[in-house]
Amino acid sequence: MPAPSNPQPYGPPRGGIPDGLPAPGRFAHLHPDDGACLMEAASLLATGRFTDSPPGTHPVLAGLARAVNDAVSDTARQALWPLAADLADADPADRAYGPLLVATVVDAARRVQPASRRLKRHSTACHQRARRLAHARPPKTAARIADLLWWRGPGRRHLEHSLRVLLTAPDADQRLSQLLHDAVAQARHTTSPAVTGAAPRTTLPRSP
């Protein structure tokens, strides 16, 4: 997305709502005057640039945020708007974070369609990958490329299919909004080291 010609200084959140942001809307936008999706708002807060893929947000979390933003109702989207400030700086270094987040969404979809074999396969694959990477060393170039390829391939497909299932639920807005709130809280927790200086760790839930 192109940056606005005269970026405005978007300030920190005031009373839980980011101050001075464009109006929330679905999909991507060419300019803040046309509105913004949740990730475009996060980018404005983080860098002043207008893009839906800011560098301070984990790509899997950004993908979930974009999808939820586009799927929920106008009322639910407005309620999600305060998350922009936290999304602006939510990038866990743990390589297990991406597959674990996708697994969380898949498992949420399984509660809507518990008999789905496809969702069960997706869940197993994501949890297995997360476990393999849970204690991996900090990624070098080859590992980063492998993680990106997984996300752009099977990871994204698993996420998108699960979101389509979740949209069939009568309370889809509530389910999707809660998923994103929980994902952002987990990402912020694992992005910021504890006061003791211990490295943050990703907690892997058991597969259903």
Helices (H), 48-197: 59-71, 74-80, 83-87, 97-110, 117-133, 141-150, 156-166, 172-191
pLDDT of residue 141: 86
**Residue 180 contacts residue 64 (beta carbons within 8 Å):** yes
Distances in Å between the Cα of 172 and the Cα atoms of 44, 78, 167, 168 are 28, 15, 5, 7
pLDDT, tens digit, for every residue of 161-182? 999 999 999 999 999 999 999 9
Q: What is the dihedral of CA 24, 69, 43, 195, to 10 degrees?
A: 120
SS3 120: helix
Higher pLDDT, 140 or 160: 160
**Residue 119 contacts residue 113 (beta carbons within 8 Å):** yes
pLDDT, tens digit, for every residue of 63-122? 999 999 999 999 999 999 999 989 988 999 889 999 999 999 999 999 999 999 999 999
Listed residue (100, 112, 101) closest to 166, CA to CA: 112
Helix, strand, coil percentages, rounded to 5, for the chain? 55, 5, 40
Listed residue (96, 103, 95, 78) closest to 18, CA to CA: 78
Residue carrying structure tokens 């987990």? 186
Name the residue type at position 77: R
pLDDT, tens digit, for every residue of 10-54? 333 333 455 677 777 776 666 777 678 899 988 888 888 888 888
Q: What phi, psi does 105 have (nearest 5°)?
A: -70, -40
**Residue 98 contacts residue 187 (beta carbons within 8 Å):** no
Q: Which pTM was predicted?
A: 0.80
